[in-house]
A and B are shown apart, each in its own frame.
Chain A
Amino acid sequence: MAKVTLKSLSHSYLKIQSSDADWAIRGVDIDWNDGGAYALLGPSGCGKTTLLNIISGLITPTKGDILFDDKVVSGLNPVERNIAQIFQFPVIYDTMTVYDNLAFPLRNRKIPEEEIKVKVHEIAEMLELSSTINNRASGLTADGKQKISLGRGLVRSDVNAIMFDEPLTVIDPHLKWILRSKLKELHQKINRTMIYVTHDQTEALTFADQVVVMHEGQIVQTGTPVDLFEKPKHTFVGYFIGSPGMNVLPCKINGNDVIVNGKKIETHQQVKKNNFSKTEVGVRPEFISFSNHGIPVKVLSVSNTGRHKIVDTESESGKIKMIAKSNENIPSGSAFLKFKKEYTYTYGDSWIIE
């Protein structure tokens, strides 16, 4: 068990870096408490797997330090760091039985065979692998194999942290739910630091207490799922999280006034400085409603998801999506939209203006 700290960490896969784009990870700082459940969320190629592999010790970072419990571990290998990691695709040892697979990390650490037996059976029970424990692992289905991978990560009780690298990619949707809640349950039971990498917002938001959103090698926001939804600090967080994502419209800032489509609108925060090359207003579809006045739009289409209606509209400065109740009457043709003040934010160069 350990607290994980990353200090101004940067990594590049190239030998010589000439621009920002050459860095897979750029200046990442993280402070994770012992025993927490964290998620690294971001699209493919944003650097989340690289970051995870740096924490586990599979990759040595170009710059910066990794600390476990305030002790620098940057130069140590995964065994010395004592971490467990589960990969995206099931990794099993084909020639071994399920039992031997689960026992493998323990045997490599020279743990007595009686102790291994107890541990392995406990983990097999938890992952519902008991019935196949003496079968050859290669004969199992994809999710059976991934359960073995999970089991190998969980079987050691003394690990500093457990890393998950999109572990549910190959699992059937209905089993995903079961395994995800199992992991959550497990986290409460064994109380170990868990770091979960995913590009799936539902997975991240249900698993973690704290979600770290990454974009192009940088951390754009760290916070609870509610924070990320209600107050995105970067326009990327706005449209990556939520379905549909946040509407981002260009705006002009005139003194203290925020102007969208020539109309002044009210936003959450007072804008004081204005030295940005690009200013935008962001508001989630959930916080937009029809009104008698406001931003003039043309209603393009309505799609009913059952729980609510998603309305596509077009304003002078771009498309705006809004969510209406399923029993609400949607005006056809022209209409006016009103943004909820406390959830409307202004962004300067994509970052929130505070």
Chain B
Amino acid sequence: MNKTVNQKAWFFVIPVFVLVAFNAIIPLMTVVNYAFQETFGNNVFMWEGTRWFKQIMLSERFHASLGRQFLFTFIILFIQIPLGIAIALTMPKEGLGVPVCLVLMSMPLLIPWNVVGAMWNIFALPDIGFLGHSLNALGFDYNFTQQIGDAWFTTILMDVWHWTSLVVLLSYAGLRSIQPAYYQAAEIDGASRWAVFTKIELPKMKKVLTIAILLRFMDSFMIYTEPFVLTGGGPGNATAFLSIDLVKMALGQFDLGPAAAMSLIYFFIVLLVCWVFYTLMMRNEGKS
């Protein structure tokens, strides 16, 4: 095939390229720069090769925060995805209930992240917070600032409260786009409610659920503000997830080289998991 030669298209590409360069490529390359060198300030750099990478990959501290991060992400996905689908299934399909539910569902998503953290911090305080005080009044020994289990429980509860709505809204959109004829056909075919869910609703929601899982994976894997405000990574390092640990290393200890290397490893893990997941989910889509 002969294509028309027209170089004018570059004029449309260049602005985007400049924009992406300034907000992504140049900052990223700065990090890359730090990851292979040692600096003591005054713009003096010494070549270190892969030393920081080796150091991070072998450090127990990194293994621990990575482990915590994966555990946290798996737990919240395990709760939020089924819960989000379940709520979407029970939401009204018409009438005044629809806007009411949608607005209520959107509220947590509209609250700034550090406000969410601060809210939950006060809410969960064992002596004066509503949640903390009530739990203690009921006889539970609850103190998220001192007990590891309580800290995890509170962090997970906060994330479920903050983000399940996103899964609900996406699932709801997916459910609403299913043609009524599918339900009618299933009714005539004598399908059970469970069969309708597994054979019609879930397959039809596959694309929005893929998006939901990807978004929730990325956001929860990179979570920083809320646990930082709520627990500050504590007690000890119990809730120091990857980004909290990274900030500690970069800004607390000023270990710029290892922190840069860790950023890159962190970035590649997110990229790899997303790519593998997306490829697996979409492997049959091209055929239809």
Contacts and interface: CB of A to CB of B under 8 A. Distances in A.
B199 interface: yes
A105 B186 CA distance: 8
Nearest to A140: B288
Interface centre among B182, B189, B195, B284 (most CB of A within 10 A): B189
Contact of A108 (B179, B184, B192, B288): B192
A33 interface: no
Contacts of A138: 284, 287-288
Contact of A94 (B181, B184, B204): B204
A218 B108 CA distance: 51
Contact of B181 (A56, A91, A152): A91
Contacts of A77: 187
6 contacts: A85-B184, A93-B199, A94-B288, A95-B203, A108-B189, A152-B185
B7 to A, nearest CB: 40
A138 B287 CA distance: 8
A105 B181 contact: no
Give chain B's interface residue range (CB within 8 Å of chain A).
10 to 19
Contacts of A139: 287-288
A136 interface: yes
Contacts of B192: 108
Interface of B: 179, 181-182, 184-185, 187-192, 195, 199-200, 203-204, 284, 287-288
B199 A95 contact: yes
Nearest to B192: A108
Interface residues of A, number: 26
Contacts of B182: 91
B181 A89 contact: yes
Contacts of A105: 188-190
A108 B181 contact: no
Given A104-B199, A108-B191, 17 more contacts: A58-B187, A78-B187, A79-B188, A79-B190, A85-B184, A87-B184, A89-B179, A91-B184, A95-B203, A96-B199, A108-B192, A108-B195, A136-B284, A138-B284, A139-B287, A139-B288, A152-B185
Contacts of A109: 190
Contacts of A104: 189, 191, 199
